[in-house]
Amino acid sequence: MSGHAFQLLAIIIYMLAMIIIGWFAYRRTKNLNDYMLGGRDLGPAVTALSAGAADMSGWLLMGLPGAIYAVGLVEAWIAIGLTVGAWLNWFLVAPRLRVYTQVSKDSITIPSFLDNRLRDNTKLIRIVSGIVILVFFTFYVSSGMVSGGKFFESSFGFDYHTGLLIVSAVTVGYTLFGGFLAVSYTDFLQGLIMFLALVLVPIVGVFVTGGIGETIDSIQAVNPEQFSLFASTATAAGIISSVAWGLGYFGQPHIIVRFMAIKSVKETKQARRIGIGWMILSLLGATCTALVGLAYFQQNGGNVDDPETIFIVMGQILFHPFIAGIMLAAILAAIMSTISSQLIVTSSALVEDMYKALFKKDASDKHYVMAGRLAVLVVSVIAAILGWNPDSSILDLVGFAWAGFGAAFGPTILLALYWKKLTNIGALVGMVAGAVVAYVWGQSEALSAMLYEIVPGFIINLILAVIVSLVTYKRNPEIEKEFEDTLALLKSEKEK
């Protein structure tokens, strides 16, 4: 059996596991709450790892190791910023969002929560935020499908379109039938695969390169500044921009929706520890993979053609082809976990926040679940069409998505959870302004080179939301009671 055959076997086993989990979740999905939010019954481990897997995508296994391999630890500032941002997200947002979304008319999506929380009779917040999610996640899903096509093309020599269709069919299949539960369970398994692969490669690699001391010497022989966070290439603005990536977490719908689905507030603390532990070890594994790879090629000669493939190359050098296939499955897991998470959030925005809010208000749960599945299928087909040409310029918009979501939703979510005077008009003005500023800033080469666009977008949203809310604020006893009930329930849940 050839090496490629062993690797393909590992990929097939992985794909079958995803389909089986999807079928299991399908059997447990009875109503719309199950389909969109898993019945708010996720355990801490599943919540934590599924949030992490949905977040990291292929950047964790390819982008980060590639940057550190090529430049050094100065590229690790993004990882530091993301870790701090993720911890703050778990600490500040998770407990309150879990309680508040339930208290506020049992909201099952971010737009419906903002609508219910702010008593927005115009439905503008719900519709605008639903449109933002729908548009940008469609592009995001498309980019994931493109990554899947290129993965099969580069790893197995498949035709690009064949690879795209394989990844799309499996991911869409388990998401369409199993809904949020399938996405969460598959993300949990995918998170485990990613974690084990990222820990295994550097540990085995250090033995091959002669131990820690010899590995460090080999790395410094290539680049004396490889271990410096403040290398000569670093600038203050560059470090601030990298760390600022952490601000994006507060506004990522596919991540914070996990907080709404966890079984109880008490379990958010355990989930935070698991999630941040997974994240720190995975990021360290990705960093060490790059460093060990640098030492290996310094000792043995040669180099990698593309630094972003260092994880794949080291997996093939160090392990049996079947194990190397599992390493490849880890990359596929990173791609598919993000696609599925974005698909289910996009489906919920389309059904819960647009179709249900505007047209059908008294249909059965069965009708809405079917509509949700249809939405997954429609969005997937559009995303596949957008990604059919791998060089499509539309995919350039994906780079804006993290900053756009962070700037549009981040301050709005924080204010909605912590400030009872936030008004629907203040939230809407801030949300739109944050997204527009982030987009315009990001389109200017001069401005984006100076500072990452999420910073000005986030700040403008926060300032305008506060100012407009203070101007338009009118006391609403219902909102105040709901706010106080949330705080009381939060306290009692934590004391259990």
Does 323 have pLDDT greater than 70?
yes
The pLDDT, as a whole number, for residue 39 is 83
The pLDDT, as a whole number, for residue 139 is 81
Does 93 have pLDDT greater than 90?
yes
Centre a 10 Å sphere on the Cβ of residue 27 and count the other Cβ atoms it contains.
Answer: 10
Identity at 296, one-letter amino acid code: Y
Cα four-point dihedral sign 39, 43, 48, 53? negative
Residue 415 lies in a domain: no
The pLDDT, as a whole number, for residue 312 is 87
- Which two structure tokens, joined as six digits, stand for 252? 């990522």
Does 1 have pLDDT greater than 80?
no
The pLDDT, as a whole number, for residue 45 is 94
pLDDT digits (tens, 9 = 90+) for 167-217: 999 999 999 889 999 999 999 999 999 999 999 999 999 999 999 999 999
Closest CA to 189 of 40, 316, 347, 13: 13
Enter the pTM of the model.
Answer: 0.92
Average pLDDT over residues 374-400: 78
Residue 204 lies in a domain: yes
Centre a 10 Å sphere on the Cβ of residue 99 and count the other Cβ atoms it contains.
Answer: 25
Does 343 have pLDDT greater than 60?
yes
The whole-chain average pLDDT of the chain stands at: 90
Does 159 have pLDDT greater than 70?
yes
Residue 373 lies in a domain: yes
For residues 468 and 457, give the distance between their C-alpha atoms in angstroms, rounded to a whole number. Answer: 16
The pLDDT, as a whole number, for residue 392 is 61
Instruction: Please tell me the total count of domains within the chain.
Output: 1
pLDDT digits (tens, 9 = 90+) for 41-80: 899 999 999 999 888 877 888 889 999 999 999 999 999 9
Residue 432 lies in a domain: no
When pLDDT is cut at 50, 70 and 90, the band that residue 494 belongs to is: confident
The pLDDT, as a whole number, for residue 396 is 54
Residues 126, 114: contact at Cβ < 8 Å? yes
Give the residue with greater pLDDT, 90 vs 142: 90
Average pLDDT over residues 241-249: 92
Alpha carbon of 260 to those of 67, 90, 479: distances in Å?
A: 34, 12, 20
Q: Which domain holds residue 297?
A: 3-392
Q: By mean pLDDT, which of 68-72, 217-221, 386-390, 466-470 is the weakest? A: 386-390
Does 400 have pLDDT greater than 80?
no
Residue 455 lies in a domain: no
The pLDDT, as a whole number, for residue 395 is 47
Alpha carbon of 121 to those of 90, 128, 398, 403: distances in Å?
A: 31, 14, 32, 29
Average pLDDT over residues 418-426: 96
Does 23 have pLDDT greater than 70?
yes
CATH code of residue 306 = 1.20.1730.10
Residue 85 lies in a domain: yes
Residue 327 lies in a domain: yes
Does 20 have pLDDT greater than 60?
yes
Closest CA to 194 of 343, 311, 24: 311
Residue 403 lies in a domain: no
pLDDT digits (tens, 9 = 90+) for 217-237: 999 999 898 999 988 777 888
Residues 431, 220: contact at Cβ < 8 Å? no
Closest CA to 201 of 85, 301, 324: 324
For residues 67 and 48, give the distance between their C-alpha atoms in angstroms, rounded to a whole number. Answer: 26
